[in-house]
Amino acid sequence: MRDGDQTRRFEQLVLPHLDAAYNLARWLTRNPEDAEDVVQEAALRAFRYLAGLRGESARPWFLTIVRQTCYTWLRNNRPPAEVRILDDDGFDLVAATAGDGGDTPEAQVSRIEDRTLVNRLLAGLPVPLREVIVLRELEELAYREIAEILAVPIGTVMSRLSRARARLRADLVRDLGDAGHGL
């Protein structure tokens, strides 16, 4: 394949999925700058191995590369305890504060608080549950695509998704109950 052809194929098949790649990397690395580095490395790997992509289903293929690149990056750049614990390093709240300009200040504050709560609850999930919920609920991937990305059976995806949803629900109820007792 000529360089120009490979570049065009990369632009058509991979570049449209950079936002999804960044989102997954941000949730796994828990740091916006690290996520950018991971996505850049993953994009380079995807370009290098583009000939290995069969068919037109580039999104799961690319997100698999992003996921593997994240874990390699975490292994090489974070102490083992930090990789396992993954406590809050902070989130990119700048994106959460961007409104459409038509909301009242009270509505904007409420939306920021809701996003902060959701981010905190997602961050509290173990990595296997967090990655499946991000891929399904935030990236809207099909179970089959998630199974392909994670290299697990579809039943495992469904089980993890069910556990993640149940844990999020329980944590939300707990947090809302704790907030109510403080009034």
pLDDT tens over the chain, length 183 residues: 577 888 998 999 999 999 999 999 999 998 999 999 999 999 999 999 888 888 768 999 999 999 999 989 988 887 654 433 232 333 332 233 333 444 555 555 555 666 777 788 888 899 899 999 999 988 889 999 999 999 999 999 999 999 999 998 898 888 877 665 444
Structure tokens at 76: 């090489």
Delimit the domains of the chain by residue range.
Answer: 1-86, 124-183
Task: Give pLDDT, residue 149.
Answer: 92
Task: Give pLDDT, residue 119.
Answer: 80
- Helix or strand holding residue 33 (H, E): helix 32-48
Q: Say how far apart CA 168 and CA 22 lie, in whole Å.
A: 22
Task: Give pLDDT, residue 98.
Answer: 34
Class of domain 1-86: mainly alpha
pTM: 0.66
Q: Say how far apart CA 26 and CA 76 lie, in whole Å.
A: 17
| Residues sharing a CB contact under 8 Å with residue 115, sequence separation 6 or more, in sequence order | 93, 96
The span from the first CA to the last CA of the chain, in angstroms, equals 66
Neighbours of 84 (CB within 10 A): 11
Which is nearest to 91 in space by CA: 175, 23, 19? Answer: 23
Task: Give pLDDT, residue 106.
Answer: 59
Q: Which fold has domain 124-183?
A: Arc Repressor Mutant, subunit A (1.10.10)
Task: Give pLDDT, residue 96.
Answer: 31
Structure tokens at 171: 């944590």
